[in-house]
Every structure is written in C-alpha cells, then in structure tokens.
Amino acid sequence: MGIQQHAIGAARAPEISSTPVSAAKLSVLHLEPIKDRLGPRWDRLSGLVHQLFEKALRGAQGRHDHFVLMDELSYVATFHDLTPYEAEVACTSVAKEVCDLLFGEGSEAVSIRSLIGTVSGGIADFPQNAGAEISSALERDGKASITTHHPPLAGPPPESYWIGWAHKRLAALTNDVAGFYPAWDLQRKRSSWLSFARRPKLPLAGGVAAKAAEDEKVTAELEIAFLRASADYALMVQHSGQVCPIASGVSYNTLSGFHSRMRYIQALKSLALSPSCPLFLKIARIPDGTPLARLWEIVLMISEPGTRILLEFADIRRLPALDIRLNVAGVGAVLPERCTENAALHIARCLLRRSAEQKGFAFLGDIAAPRLLKAIVGEGVHYVGGIGPARPPHWTGNETIPRLPLDLPPEIEKFFV
C-alpha cells in the first residue's frame, strides 16, 4: 500500500515558524506475529487497519492538523490545538479505539506505541515533506507510551467502598453534595474528563459559590476520601473499556501542613492507579505570594505514575511570570463572586499566558452565568467546569458508567452560541 496523506495540499516551501506544535508517532508493535497469525487475511485486514487509524485520527485532530503514513503501520500526526499532555490522551484514545475495533474480544494482546513531543511549526505544517524529520525528532526527544489491547475484564465492574464513604462523610460534615462533574472542552464542545467535586445544595448565583473555611483536619479528611473515591472511579471507567482522566482536588493548605500532607501522600501512594484513566490532582486555592520554588517542591512530592498535576490559583491576575517549569498538565483559576464580563475576559487572558509558560492547558472553575462563558469563548481557555444551571449534569458514582467523551447537552450548548 502506498503512502497516504490526509488534508495535505500541494507541496510548497515551508514558512518559518518557531511556535512549537504537538506531534505524535503511532506504531503497531510486533507486526510480524500479527501478520503470521492472520496469514492470507492480512492483505485485506491491513486496509481496514488504515481506515480505522485514519478515522480515529480525524476525530482527534483539529482542522489545521495533518497525518501521514510513514511505513506499513506507522503514522506521524500533528495536534496544533492540543498541549503535549492532551495529545498524549488523544493518542491513547486513538490507539485504544483501533485495537478494540480491529481485534475485538478474545484476541491476543496487541500494543500500539505512541511517541509524543513538540516540533516547530515550520515543519509541523508540512508533514508530506517533513514526515521523516518529525519522526526522527520524536524518536530522539519524544515521550513514549504503550497502549495494549486486552480482552475486556470479565465479571461485574468493581465496587467502590470509598465513593460511598466520601458521600457519607461530606453529608455528615457539611451542607454540600458531591458528584462526578464534566469539564467541558470549549474547542470541541464535549467533555474529556470528569471531576469529583462538591457543590452547595443551594443554587449557584453566578461565578463560584463561596463557603466559609472549615477546620483544616476536616478538609484534609474529605480530600483524602475524594482522592480514594476518584481512584476507584477511574478503575471502574477502565473496566468499562474507556479512556478518561478523573480529577480530584486538594487544597494548598492541606499540602502545606506537614501532617496533613503526609496523610495525603500516604493515601496517594496506596492507590491502584489506572494507566488509561489517570488521576488529575488539582492543587486548589493557591494563595497570592506563594513562592514558586515551594510550589515546585509540592508538585514533586505528589507526582506519582498515573497522575497529572493541575494548579488552580486564587487570583491569576496577580500571579507573576511562571519562570520555573513546574511539570504540570494544566494551570487554572476561579472567577470571583459577582464577576463582570470584563473581569472574566481579563482573567482568561492572564490564565492563557501563564498556562503557555508551563506548556499546559488552561482551565477555569465553575461558570454558572452564560454571560461569563460568552465573554471567554475564543480566548484560548481549554476547559471549564460547572457551565449552566444550578444542577449541571453529574453522576454520583453508583450509576452505570456514561459513554465518554460526553457531548454537550442542549441546555448547555446554547451558552456557546
């Protein structure tokens, strides 16, 4: 089969661009044993493999992206609108989709290798001419991961003690309720991950509802329960055969206190984490004046395989330049109470600069007022939570796992118009 390209125009001289672009190389591993097992069916099946790869890649890429087939079953793809971490999640989804559709139940393990990294825009926009150059750059500097297809797990999905415990403790200690809430992708108009979060029982009045500070020991207890519940839910999502990060929050105060930090880290290290459904650990309410060196130390202390760290600052407008690479997946902020459209726009622009400094995605907390959402759409914020009514779509953790990613429901989609 000859070289195939998608969305590649006539060759022209590359324009010079120093802007880094996320790129990936996906390759089917152990191809010879697969070909030997399939025998004469390989010629027909290889065409199906290409169709599945191309369909999955088109679904994961944006309108400015390309992919090119490098050899028998190896693709180079670009992701202009995604950070390297988002590209990694996208490639995991692509690889899993191809494996599941192609090999189905009861097959032997099949693996797809993904190399994720960044390349300059000068070559990323011309993969027809630069596919080999992109491939070499990724082989040299990219981050490798393996997605393996196994037969679906037998038996019923695992049950979670900690999800029920988190709900009970929250009800006993506060007037809040908890659930797994979608974080909405503003560019793709869908939800790519879920966050186990607490919400006041009273309706949100716009912006983020404030709550009186609680006893630090109680807060730490609840955050550890939420962490364990989120890890359990990630395993349940994995059991359902899906790819979806699950987020859980921990306050900066909890991680600043020695005893509360040790309890949280001990709980984190005891978890069974899913490689295809990683945990987003959001360090919340980072106060003004926090030394970046101290924040870097905390990020290192809670970084574990299967986790990605998010930073949420109390006031992103007063945050100085993040001139230290903190190795985080995303940088976020919250909107103040009685937030105006101009203030929301200013916060979104500040957030975009700070997230770009960390090469991560930008996210905002609850946005209950449509006027605030309209103010930030198009400003580069990747994800927002809590869009819409006082009771946005959510799951307690006791229902059947939803099909992911989630499409915007009509009552929320209207806010994007």
User: Where do the structural domains in the chain lie, given as residue ranges?
Assistant: 5-149, 161-416
Taking the CB of residue 75, how many other CB atoms lie within 10 A of it? Answer: 27
Q: 161-416 adopts what CATH topology? A: TIM Barrel (3.20.20)
Taking the CB of residue 321, how many other CB atoms lie within 10 A of it? Answer: 9
**Cα–Cα distance measured from residue 290 to residue 295, given in angstroms and rounded to the nearest whole number:** 7
Q: What is the pLDDT of residue 65?
A: 87
**Cα–Cα distance measured from residue 135 to residue 140, given in angstroms and rounded to the nearest whole number:** 9
Class of residue 172 by CB neighbours under 10 A (exposed 0-12, middle 13-18, buried 19+) = exposed
Q: Which two tokens stand for residue 239?
A: 């059991």
CATH 3.30.70.270 for the 5-149 domain, yes or no: yes
Of 69-83, 228-242, 283-297, the poorest mean pLDDT is in: 69-83
Q: Averaging pLDDT over each range in 85-99, 185-199, 298-312, 358-372, which range is the top one?
A: 298-312
For residue 316, what is the DSSP state?
G
Residue 204: pLDDT band (50, 70, 90) is very low
Domains 5-149 and 161-416 share a fold: no
Q: CA distances (Å), 333 to each of 49, 85, 236, in order? A: 42, 19, 29
Residue 155: pLDDT band (50, 70, 90) is low
185 in Cβ contact with 404 (< 8 Å): no
Taking the CB of residue 275, how many other CB atoms lie within 10 A of it? Answer: 15
- Interior CA angle at 354 toward 352 and 359, to 5°? 85
| Burial annotation 354-387 (CB, 10 A radius, 16+ → b, else e) | bbeebbbbbbbbbbbbbebbebbeebbbbbbbbb
Question: Is residue 80 pLDDT above 50, yes or no?
Answer: yes
- Give the residue-averaged pLDDT of 309-338: 87
Of 228-237, 243-252, 385-394, 396-405, the poorest mean pLDDT is in: 385-394
Task: Tell me, yes or no, if the pTM score tops 0.85.
Answer: no
